Chains A and B, each alone.
Chain A
Amino acid sequence: DGGITQSPKYLFRKEGQNVTLSCEQNLNHDAMYWYRQDPGQGLRLIYYSQIVNDFQKGDIAEGYSVSREKKESFPLTVTSAQKNPTAFYLCASKVMESSYNEQFFGPGTRLTVL
């Protein structure tokens, strides 16, 4: 089955620890995205990447880092500098050269920092 996988589904960390969220896709999509979702806030863009070894900051990149070493993978690290990291994190991907900008989302990782 083609799709986007995120692991784990639930993640608990102690304050001050870095944590890396996994995102893998086998859709052969060029672009990948990370969003943060808080209740009543919609989806806010953290980082995105349109090509391997290149990525751009989104609206709320502070306290986060990413890498794109492979087309299929776009891991997100939530660093200790992120002041309020508890949230639902969604990864998405899409085809770059398309008249449709439809994004496909993974199931998400719910991060709780204690």
Chain B
Amino acid sequence: GQQVMQIPQYQHVQEGEDFTTYCNSSTTLSNIQWYKQRPGGHPVFLIQLVKSGEVKKQKRLTFQFGEAKKNSSLHITATQTTDVGTYFCAVSGYSTLTFGKGTMLLVSP
């Protein structure tokens, strides 16, 4: 199945700093999804990207899908303590998802 590499594995920022996590694949992806998992919680769907070069925004979160559809990024502007958690990218197979290992974000006030 398809595999995705997600970097960095962990990032610690001061509140107000920006944060970016990247998801990379060696093969062309049909689409990519992003999930957030709060500490002790379960993954929650954030967004799905389908089109080459697609950019979508959700308040302070910006999601991008690469032109070649082999990579994606999630950027958070001016992080807040509520952004703490692990962010996963996931790629679709026929009926399943393959998740990256996630980027754990810690935000210090």
Cross-chain contact A42 with B33 (CB below 8 angstroms): no
Main secondary structure of the interface of A (DSSP, over half): loop
B-side contacts of A42, CB under 8 Å: 6, 88, 99-102
Q: Is the CB of A107 within 8 A of B41?
A: yes
Chain B: interface residue count, which band? Answer: 20 to 34
Interface residues of B in 33-58 (CB under 8 A from A): 33, 41-45, 48
* Count class of interface residues, chain A: 20 to 34
Give min CB distance, B49 to chain A, whole Å: 11
**Which B-chain residue is minimally distant from A41 (CB atoms)?**
B101
Q: Which of B41, B42, B44, B45 has the most CB of A within 10 A?
A: B42
**Chain B residues within 8 Å of A, Cβ to Cβ:** 1, 6, 9, 31, 33, 41-45, 48, 88, 92, 95-102
